[in-house]
Amino acid sequence: MEELIGFVTGNKNRQKLLALLGSKHELNADKIAKNMHIARPPVDRIIEELIEKELITEQNGAYVLTELGETVERRVGNI
C-alpha cells in the first residue's frame, strides 16, 4: 500500500487524476484532459500507469477508480 501511495504522490498529475475520479466517479480521457488542463498524450500515459497498478479501470469508455484506487485516493487525500 505504501508503495502505491508513493507512486501516486510522486507525480502531481497522477494525484490530480485520482482525486478527479474520486470526485467525479467516471470520466472519459477527453474530459479528464479538459478538467486537468493538460493535453491528451500525457493523460493517456498516466491512465496506462494507473491501470497497470490496478488503481483505475475502464468501463464503457470511461475510467473509474477500482476498490484499491478508492483506498489509495482516500489515503493520499489525507496526507
Kindly report, residue by residue over 26-35, the tens digit of the pLDDT: 999 999 999 9
- Claim: this prediction has a pTM higher than 0.75: yes
pLDDT at 64: 98
pLDDT at 79 over 90: no
Contact predicate 54/66, CB 8 Å: yes
SS (H, E, C) the chain: CHHHHHHHHCCHHHHHHHHHHHHHCCECHHHHHHHHCCCHHHHHHHHHHHHHCCCEEEECCEEEECHHHHHHHHHHHCC
For residue range 21-77, list pLDDT tens digits in order. Answer: 999 999 999 999 999 999 999 999 999 999 999 999 999 999 999 999 999 999 998
Ordered by where they begin, the domains of the chain are 2-77 (1.10.10.10)
